[in-house]
Structure 1
Amino acid sequence: MMLPFTFTTEMAEAHQAVGFQFTVRPDGVELKLSQEVIKNIYLSGLTVWKKKAIQFKNSVLTGVYPASPSSWLIVVIAMMSSLYTNTDLSLGMIDAIKENLPHRGYMSAQTRAVLSAILFGTGLWLFLIYLLRYTLKALLSYHGWIFESHGKMSSSTKLWLYLVKMFSGRRPLLYSFQASLPRLPVPRVDDTIRRYLESVRPLLDKEQYSQMETLANDFKESKASQLQRYLILKSWWATNYVSDWWEEFIYLRGRGPIMVNSNFYIMDLLYITPTHRQAARAGNIVHAMLQYRRKLERGEHAPLRALGTVPMCSTQMERMFNTTRIPGIETDVVQHLSDRKHLIVYHKGRFFQVWLYTGGRHLLPSELEMQFQRILNDTTEPQPGELKLAALTAGNRVPWAQARIKHFSHGVNKTSLDAIESAAFFLTLDDESQGYDGVKKNSLDSYAKSLLHGKCYDRWFDKSFTLISYPNGKMGVNVEHSWADAPIVGHMWEYVLATDCFHLCYSEEGHCKGDANRGLPFPTRLQWQISKECQDVIEASYLSAKKIADDVDFHGHLFTEFGKGLIKKCRTSPDAFIQLALQLAQFRDQGVFCLTYESSMTRMFRDGRTETVRSCTSEAVAFVRAMEDVSATNAQRLSLFQKAAEKHQNMYRLAMTGSGIDRHLFCLYIVSKYLGADSPFLNKVLSEPWRLSTSQTPQQQLNLVDINKFPKYVGAGGGFGPVADDGYGVSYIIVGENLITFHISSKFSSPNTDSYRFGQNIQRAMIDIQTLFTLEHDKKTPDCLQLQNGKKHI
């Protein structure tokens, strides 16, 4: 009698629909193994071990940096050579080690001598490594170079720069400098309070300022020293006294929606769309991201360095992929997993799981295109409750956390949710075209709103980032903010766009290049069993999120009159120029000055994130008032502008070098809450609204694309939602020499704000400031007024 029994399985590592068969017979079991299975098992295992070997090698290189493993051999050989030349380089320490070796009775004298020399050489090598690191850390603690005028480097700074280069070693990896980065210093309380009072002086009348001064002095004389001691103690213990509290209290403990209020977006190339085939563009972009992730996991990206020499912290990059913000009742947590081999794709209300590897390698761009096209061609309907499921991540955090515990902690719902939260990232194949169109008036506005919130249920706002693909080939990214700041994702996005356009490219028909393996299994639909009760929670989250999304007034403004090329010819910092233009635009728009937030980075310190530059200074106010005073001359206005620009630059430098105001006050406030030491001064400071919140999107890898050769391959930057109910959020990017893109947000519900109007005020302010560089009464026109198109703005 023969009992047939056949079992087929999918190989998760190989992600191929091939398997093995065995048949139970009376005389035994007949086993048939597929050659494809064996091949894929072999290739997958080989890839894993190769990856582990590379990671181990790079971890060793990073661990001993700025030395190298070969330097150990040199030191040990030198110590051993001294044994044969009767030159004791160890000053007797090798002999001491030889006499105290355990089990020395079982070794010959020569063996003990060699082993002692090796041990001493290794110890000396480790000592030299730490000496080099601490020397480099001491050098990097010097920030005098940043306060010097542009193009005027002192002899001491040149010497310092030479020493930094000398101690930095050769060919550093991404994390090579981490151990050498200095810690963020805790500013003196007196300095912080003095700078704070200086920052609010132009915003308060005499009575209000007197009250604030009294609160500040009371705080300084009573609670400040106690709170400061705890903060200094933390700075000795933690690698950064700000970053962990900033992530927890500013981001993770917030119980309101993160959509619009926290998440931000980054746009595609402004003028160029390499292909109009949605699946093809998504295939190239995803493949480029996988290449970036592989280099990231191996630590092979070059560390970002100011002046090409001063290293920046790379800690935030660790959580770029395989990361999800998990909702909690009181606080969220950021879950980061090791390498994950799948991607979750959302299309028309359905969730699909797509494997990213086959046979131990990444799927090729053409194979990814095929998989995405299969999803686009799928005509199945969403399951009950599936269409708007992602709205849970867009609404308030507590209902989402409760629903996750009650409805997604078991069964198929848990399995599917785990697949989403463990995915490398989230991809939405959108069904409505977006992108900049010079003919359509509001195309950039619509594009921004789509990236920021979409339909409120077609992005998984908890993922580290959601990649968004449009039917016309445009792309974009929505980013969860708690795990990192915009420059981190910007670094990845610059690499991906350059790789897509200049390395992977497309066929003449717009498809990804290369042949695809047609035997790949189809993407798998995630399964859900969503109860009516859970559907009600989803709908409530959706309605809450939709109310927020509908209130966002967004305007993308392209400023093409001039760019950083002209501004630099006027010997002015482009950032200071724009910030003062924003102050002028704000005053013209609202008729009053307001507390202004500009983000600056502190990544020259270990685990550094951001600091605030308070751009509305007394000098900026004096300049703006002169611009609006018809009796003021251009010479007077220009003089005030230069003073205000210099003041702004100095504040920016202070923020970058750890002497900012707001992070110190924030941490003092957190300590006061832990100790139960309530402070009216800190309460007042932390409750002040930022009615103008600004940020610059930096270009970090200018070597990737030659803008002069490919002037149309420029990014559009990104933006964020309004911070205050009655204020503006402004993000800007300076691209090339002749383009500045502004992303302006506000709320329709505010009767006093209008994003389009603010964009027009920025346009006018930029041009008005530029005219100041005409000498009084137009006696002489300097070179900086000559635009590339030959026009002048007088």
Structure 2
Amino acid sequence: MAEAHQAVGFQFTVTPDGIDLHLSREVLKHIYLSGVTSWRKRAIRFKNGILTGVYPASPSSLLIVVIATMSTIYARIDPSLGMIDTIKRTMPVSGYMTVQTQTVFSAILFSTGLWLSLILMLRYTLKALLSYHAWIFESHGKISFCTKLWLVCLLNMFSGRRPLLYSFQTSLPRLPVPRVDDTITRYLESVRPLLDDEQYNQMEVVANNFKKDQAPKLQKYLILKSWCATNYVSDWWEEYIYLRGRSPIMVNSNFYAMDLLYVTPTHRQAARAGNVVHAMLQYRRKLERGEHAPLRALGVVPMCSYQMERMFNTTRIPGIETDFVQHLSDRKHLVVYHKGRFFKVWLYYGGRHLWPSELETQFQRILDDTTEPQPGELKLAALTAGNRVPWARARLKYFSQGVNKASLEAIETSAFFLTLDDEVHGYDPEKLRSLDLYAKSLLHGKCYDRWFDKSFTLIAYKNGKLGVNAEHSWADAPIIGHMWEYVLATDCFHLGYTEEGHCKGDISNGLPPPIKLQWDIPLECQEVIEDSYMVAKVIADDVDFHGCLFDEFGKGLIKKSRTSPDAFIQLALQLAQFRDKGEFCLTYEASMTRMFREGRTETVRSCTSESTAFVRVEGWPPLAQRLDLFRKAADKHQNMYRLAMTGSGIDRHLFCLYIMSKYLSIDSPFLKQVLSEPWRLSTSQTPQQQLNMVDIKRFPRYVGAGGGFGPVADDGYGVSYIIIGENLITFHISSKFSSPETDSYRFGQNIRQAMLDIRALFDQKDKKEKEM
């Protein structure tokens, strides 16, 4: 055991001559190196904290201001308009200084104050510039004079300075609270295609009554909250949408990300895990120091980086009424699950990260370990897959003392969780359902071989394939996607493998072996574990998944038709939905609000009057009319997406009004109805190439397969899609076997045909133009 290995470094015996002390040089060396690493880390964080704190200025600019002030004083010019003399007279220690020293010290104080004032002015200027969103509504290739001027100002402010990850945080604008009138109008517009005339008239009356009677009071309190909170939505969204849910988070909340689609760098399970874990540690080190470059729309407009703070060393802790997210500082270990056993693996040795080859050795030791699981250990993680209340009670009763407490603490305080899976998964074009089974394995596995409460679980399969299962409360999918892109690119293009498929590098001889966690789980607790497992298994067995690789065309061809790829796909989904069920439904598309401080997501209601008009007239009108309806629907979708991104969405505002009504004990039939409406088609686009670490034109096979999530409604579909390069789109489709109305494979075929049929419209148009 590692603790025992360290403990024997110091030995002493009591003799008649006094205490005879023996010190291990090797252990002292490791202690010294750990101390140096710790202080170096603190120094770097302190330095980067200063750089972030003064951005867009630099610390060196203080010296420039001081020198300029001193120069004017010696030239007998007073730039302070008498303030330096005032400071000189009021200094309490002026009697102990010469006149010249007093002047210099007063000038330095004035210069520092002036410098801080200039930084504040720059920050408010930057915030004002970042509050300008008209650029997002302008047509592609058509830039107004105001936008050009704004862009020049923004670029000049950023020129010559490399921003760190959190440099823009305090300069990002706050998410605005939309006007109630605008939200109600857009809501009624969104439900119009789903209701007949009588239903719509009733909804209009209910909505207008709410707008007149209850909304003004709720809105006033919500505006007050927006002044006090950094973001008026995010804290309530995290608490009420995620942490207060008492149903299982497996499938219902957690999501997954897949490995590279076509490439497996090595088929050695331990080696692949070793490289990827090392890449994650590199990413974490840069994250903790704030050294990653912030994401920027158009390469200019910064996105909020707040969600990235809790990526590592984070666990969702169960509670009776509500869970909470526990985030810790730098953790030096991870916990590995393999065939029912839990192992603690140290990530540092001698004050440094373990090398990939050393991590491979540790993981291979676990794979070679033949010990049996202890009673209750095999399915222990099923507690995190079942209902939250039984898990919370079991945690308090059975895991609050002794070895159980220590072992559970090792899991919950680990950097992240790793499963060395004993199955083989990945995309295989020769196997019909390989992508479907791969997705199901990542989403729920065996229901007891992922720790669903960890911020994420890394899964390494026997054939060298990988994947990630992520808990949703702490962050959204683009955050995990950012890390995953970095890790896969680092694994393949920077770390690499030997010809035999092993990790590169040497191995230290003194490496302590993994520590097998010990458990003492009584029979009553084992029954709770089994109950949680049965609940989770029913959910997992009901998930109908289909992975659809659409390679007929991609982003390249869609852009030639002068249409947004996202709008194109969303209209194809509406067409597929109508063909699948013969009716339209309330459709959810996630968009981000990260141009605002601590922004997360907003909903785009993709089923519109324009999209339904396009779908309904399929086939019979003239080509020009069909294309006109398509473009109107696509333009409408794009406009709604832009409104959502710029803080003018519908659903987060209505959600917060509903929470406020609960706090104020105001009963609102309108808000109740809005919040109870099911999303039978829930969609999300997985971002790709956030970092541009891999040139997919040069390396077209090194592309990820994206990720997905479980169905949101019992009788609906969950669809995640990723636009990969110019010629590939991957769809991840989920539904429930228990619903007679849904079939994921059937829906996938409908999506494929809808995509082809929309493309055919443009092919016919091009053919007619050539004939003319």
Q: TM-score, normalised by structure 1?
A: 0.96
Q: Cα offset for 1:775?
A: 4.1
Corresponding residue number in structure 1 for 2:118? 128
Structure 1 residue 109 corresponds to structure 2 residue 96: no
Unaligned runs of 5+ in 2: none
Match of 2:295 among 295, 304, 308: 304
Once residues 542 and 534 of structure 2 are traced to their aligned partners in structure 1, the CA distance between those partners, rounded to angstroms, is: 12
Q: Cα offset for 1:28?
A: 2.4
Q: Cα offset for 1:255?
A: 0.3
Match of 1:93 among 65, 83, 90: 83
Q: Report 1:246-325 matches (<5 A).
A: 246-325=237-316
Corresponding residue number in structure 1 for 2:679? 690
Report if aligned partners of 2:485, 2:691 keep a CA contact under 8 Å in 1: no
Corresponding residue number in structure 2 for 1:344? 335
Once residues 662 and 331 of structure 1 are traced to their aligned partners in structure 2, the CA distance between those partners, rounded to angstroms, is: 23
Which one-letter code corresponds to 1:692 in the other structure?
L
Deviations 1:483-530 (A, max 9, x none): 000000000000000000000000000000011113211100111000
Once residues 95 and 702 of structure 1 are traced to their aligned partners in structure 2, the CA distance between those partners, rounded to angstroms, is: 52
Q: Cα offset for 1:103?
A: 2.6
Q: Secondary structure at the match of 2:734?
A: strand
Check 1:191–1:313 CA distance in 2 against 1; reply closer, same or farther (3 A cut).
same
Q: Secondary structure at the match of 1:779?
A: helix
Structure 1 residue 144 corresponds to structure 2 residue 134: yes
Match of 1:491 among 482, 486, 496: 482
Which one-letter code corresponds to 1:511 in the other structure?
H
Once residues 694 and 358 of structure 1 are traced to their aligned partners in structure 2, the CA distance between those partners, rounded to angstroms, is: 44
Corresponding residue number in structure 2 for 1:207? 198
Q: Report 1:12-51 matches (<5 A).
A: 19-51=9-41
Once residues 671 and 82 of structure 1 are traced to their aligned partners in structure 2, the CA distance between those partners, rounded to angstroms, is: 57
Corresponding residue number in structure 2 for 1:741? 730
Corresponding residue number in structure 1 for 2:46? 56
Deviations 1:169-202 (A, max 9, x none): 5100000000100000000000000000000000
Q: Cα offset for 1:701?
A: 2.8
Once residues 292 and 703 of structure 1 are traced to their aligned partners in structure 2, the CA distance between those partners, rounded to angstroms, is: 15
Which one-letter code corresponds to 2:451 in the other structure?
W
Unaligned runs of 5+ in 1: 1-8, 783-794
Report if aligned partners of 1:403, 1:534 keep a CA contact under 8 Å in 2: yes
Q: Secondary structure at the match of 2:375?
A: coil
Corresponding residue number in structure 2 for 1:225? 216
Check 1:781–1:425 CA distance in 2 against 1; reply closer, same or farther (3 A cut).
farther
Corresponding residue number in structure 1 for 2:769? 780
Corresponding residue number in structure 2 for 1:514? 505
Deviations 1:719-765 (A, max 9, x none): 00000000000000001100000000000000010000000000000
Report if aligned partners of 1:329, 1:398 keep a CA contact under 8 Å in 2: yes
Q: Cα offset for 1:613?
A: 0.1
Structure 1 residue 600 corresponds to structure 2 residue 591: yes
Q: Cα offset for 1:158?
A: 1.4
Q: Secondary structure at the match of 2:726?
A: coil
Corresponding residue number in structure 1 for 2:452? 461
Report if aligned partners of 1:18, 1:36 keep a CA contact under 8 Å in 2: no
Corresponding residue number in structure 2 for 1:562? 553
Corresponding residue number in structure 1 for 2:431? 440
Which one-letter code corresponds to 1:473 in the other structure?
G
Match of 2:699 among 688, 707, 710: 710
Corresponding residue number in structure 2 for 1:65? 55
Structure 1 residue 158 corresponds to structure 2 residue 148: yes
Q: Secondary structure at the match of 1:89?
A: coil
Moved more, 145-154 or 413-422: 145-154
Report if aligned partners of 1:774, 1:780 keep a CA contact under 8 Å in 2: no
Q: Cα offset for 1:22?
A: 2.1
Match of 2:754 among 753, 756, 765: 765
Match of 1:389 among 368, 377, 380: 380
Match of 2:654 among 651, 656, 665: 665
- Aligned identity (percent) is 79
Q: Secondary structure at the match of 1:773?
A: helix
Q: Report 1:536-615 matches (<5 A).
A: 536-615=527-606
Which one-letter code corresponds to 2:398 in the other structure?
H
Q: Cα offset for 1:318?
A: 0.1
Match of 1:755 among 704, 727, 744: 744
Structure 1 residue 476 corresponds to structure 2 residue 459: no
Q: Cα offset for 1:703?
A: 2.2
Which one-letter code corresponds to 1:749 in the other structure?
S
Structure 1 residue 723 corresponds to structure 2 residue 723: no
Match of 1:504 among 495, 499, 512: 495
Report if aligned partners of 2:577, 2:584 keep a CA contact under 8 Å in 1: yes
Once residues 148 and 496 of structure 2 are traced to their aligned partners in structure 1, the CA distance between those partners, rounded to angstroms, is: 43
Once residues 36 and 523 of structure 2 are traced to their aligned partners in structure 1, the CA distance between those partners, rounded to angstroms, is: 48
Which one-letter code corresponds to 2:132 in the other structure?
Y
Structure 1 residue 83 corresponds to structure 2 residue 78: no
Q: Report 1:229-240 matches (<5 A).
A: 229-240=220-231
Q: Secondary structure at the match of 2:73?
A: helix
Once residues 141 and 265 of structure 2 are traced to their aligned partners in structure 1, the CA distance between those partners, rounded to angstroms, is: 39
Structure 1 residue 417 corresponds to structure 2 residue 408: yes
Report if aligned partners of 2:2, 2:513 keep a CA contact under 8 Å in 1: no
Q: Cα offset for 1:77?
A: 1.4
Q: TM-score, normalised by structure 2?
A: 0.99
Once residues 17 and 770 of structure 2 are traced to their aligned partners in structure 1, the CA distance between those partners, rounded to angstroms, is: 101
Deviations 1:523-577 (A, max 9, x none): 0011100000000000000000000000000000000000000100111000000
Q: Report 1:316-335 matches (<5 A).
A: 316-335=307-326
Check 1:376–1:216 CA distance in 2 against 1; reply closer, same or farther (3 A cut).
same
Corresponding residue number in structure 2 for 1:198? 189
Once residues 64 and 447 of structure 1 are traced to their aligned partners in structure 2, the CA distance between those partners, rounded to angstroms, is: 47
Q: Secondary structure at the match of 2:721?
A: strand
Once residues 353 and 757 of structure 1 are traced to their aligned partners in structure 2, the CA distance between those partners, rounded to angstroms, is: 44
Corresponding residue number in structure 2 for 1:243? 234
Which one-letter code corresponds to 1:28 in the other structure?
G
Q: Report 1:614-625 matches (<5 A).
A: 614-625=605-616
Q: Cα offset for 1:781?
A: 5.3
Q: Cα offset for 1:83?
A: 1.8
Corresponding residue number in structure 2 for 1:380? 371
Once residues 691 and 611 of structure 2 are traced to their aligned partners in structure 1, the CA distance between those partners, rounded to angstroms, is: 31
Report if aligned partners of 2:258, 2:707 keep a CA contact under 8 Å in 1: yes
Which one-letter code corresponds to 2:648 in the other structure?
S
Q: Cα offset for 1:23?
A: 2.7
Corresponding residue number in structure 2 for 1:732? 721
Q: Cα offset for 1:167?
A: 2.0
Report if aligned partners of 2:543, 2:734 keep a CA contact under 8 Å in 1: yes
Moved more, 208-217 or 18-27: 18-27
Once residues 356 and 214 of structure 1 are traced to their aligned partners in structure 2, the CA distance between those partners, rounded to angstroms, is: 62
Report if aligned partners of 1:347, 1:429 keep a CA contact under 8 Å in 2: yes
Once residues 273 and 6 of structure 2 are traced to their aligned partners in structure 1, the CA distance between those partners, rounded to angstroms, is: 22
Deviations 1:437-478 (A, max 9, x none): 000000000000000000000000000000000000000000
Which one-letter code corresponds to 2:737 in the other structure?
F
Corresponding residue number in structure 2 for 1:633? 622
Q: Cα offset for 1:16?
A: 6.0
Report if aligned partners of 1:733, 1:742 keep a CA contact under 8 Å in 2: yes
Q: Report 1:640-651 matches (<5 A).
A: 640-651=629-640
Deviations 1:706-729 (A, max 9, x none): 111100000000000000000000
Deviations 1:294-330 (A, max 9, x none): 0000000000000101000000000000000000000
Which one-letter code corresponds to 1:693 in the other structure?
S
Once residues 36 and 447 of structure 1 are traced to their aligned partners in structure 2, the CA distance between those partners, rounded to angstroms, is: 46
Report if aligned partners of 2:459, 2:466 keep a CA contact under 8 Å in 1: yes
Moved more, 382-391 or 79-88: 79-88
Q: Secondary structure at the match of 2:140?
A: coil
